[in-house]
A = this chain, B = another copy of it.
Amino acid sequence: VQQSQKDLAEDFLNLHKTPPLFVLANAWDVASARIFELAGFKAIGTTSAGIAATLGYPDGQKITVHETAEVIRRMARLVKLPISADIEAGYALTVEGVIESVRIVIEAGAVGINLEDSTGDSQQPLFDIEFQKEKITAIREMAQSPGIHLVINARTDAYMLSKDEETLRLSKAVERGNAYKDAGADCIFVPDLGDMTITSMKSLIDAIDAPINIIAGPNTPSVGELEEIGVRRVSLGPRHQRATFALLRRIAEEIMEKGTFTGLITEGFSYADVNRMFN
């Protein structure tokens, strides 16, 4: 690991420490990463769902860690921002396997990871809490050897996947969030929180003793409101990629149904502008 990657890791960790909150732009290829970098974002995260779609797979650990690493390597060649790797549940069922996945993405240039606790099995949707803590502690230890403070964003799907009533779902997410923090996580990520009311969001944020990552949707309160209730990190997941899919579908339907091409308007984004993003 080179000094520049160590510096990026430190910059990335610092973004979590104090307000203002920062928005991490998820990206699935170099173009999407560069567009957000040029717009002034401070960090890039991969989106597993987004990368899977570009490669032709559904979400949910169908891609390999090597495919994610390849995307990170290509991003890191041009992008000067910290890059966080979405490694889903670590692409392995053992602590050793998860650590190997983390090693691969650090080698590709990542300075942070997302690790989730969902198993993909509908009968038993979440990994045991102790096993998940063990993985987080082991990742923290391992990442000390390349000499970087890897930013561990521990995701719990306890709220999203639980069928219990609201209060119980929230308390399970709080329990796991605090446990993962104690095990060494730098930030706790609770998906679907961004779609909650601001009051529910605040009660969860207050109850977890760590920086909180939420994922934004079109109806999420503004950055100013989120900052006020203590959110530290907002990510976009694959939602903006879906917005581009919807646009492509609209262009396709216009051509098929009307035989016209007006959807091909690029708002001044020229061929030369695109090429310049990669020079």
Contact = CB atoms under 8 A, between A and B. Distances in A.
Interface of A: 23, 25, 29-32, 34-36, 38-41, 49, 52-60, 74-75, 77-78, 216-220, 222-224, 236, 238-253, 255-256, 258-271, 274-279
Contacts of A258: 222
Nearest to A266: B242
B242 A271 contact: yes
Nearest to A60: B275
Nearest to A34: B56
* Secondary structure call for the A interface: helix
A274 B245 CA distance: 9
B245 A247 contact: no
Contact of A259 (B38, B223, B275): B223
Contacts of A38: 249
A39 B252 CA distance: 6
B218 A265 contact: yes
Contacts of A75: 56
A275 to B, nearest CB: 4
Contact of A243 (B57, B238, B245, B264): B264
Given A252-B25, A261-B217, A246 B223 contact: no
A264 B277 contact: no
B259 A248 contact: no
A71 to B, nearest CB: 9
Contacts of A52: 278
A242 B275 CA distance: 11
Nearest to A277: B53
Contact of A274 (B25, B242, B271): B242
Nearest to A252: B39
B243 A278 contact: no
B39 A53 contact: no
